[in-house]
């Protein structure tokens, strides 16, 4: 895995159009995998893509948080 293949939680939130709190919740729930590097939490882009595919299969709408 290359450094360019990793994104921060804030970048992941922007890509999926959700809040960084939602990303943190998904990480805690084990829905997304984290990579720790130098105290930072990062997420592999491939894991984000897999998550979106799984979510669409399960009818979870990414980018449509409830108010």
Annotated domain spans of the chain: 3-57
* Helix (H), strand (E), coil (C) string for the chain: CCHHHEEEHHHHHHHHCCCHHHHHHHHHCCCCCCEEECCEEEEEHHHHHHHHHHHHHCCCCCCCCCC
- pLDDT score recorded for residue 26: 96
pLDDT tens digits, the chain, 67 residues: what are they? 555 799 999 999 999 999 999 999 999 999 999 999 899 999 999 999 999 988 877 665 555 555 4
Q: What is the pTM of this model?
A: 0.76
Report whether CATH 1.10.1660 matches the domain 3-57.
yes
């Amino acid at each position: 895995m290359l450094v360019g293949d990793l994104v921060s939680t804030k970048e992941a939130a922007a890509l999926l159009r959700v809040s960084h709190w939602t990303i943190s919740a998904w990480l805690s729930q084990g829905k997304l995998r984290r990579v720790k590097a130098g105290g930072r939490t990062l997420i592999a882009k491939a894991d984000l893509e897999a998550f979106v595919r799984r979510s669409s299969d399960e009818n979870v709408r990414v980018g449509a948080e409830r108010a």
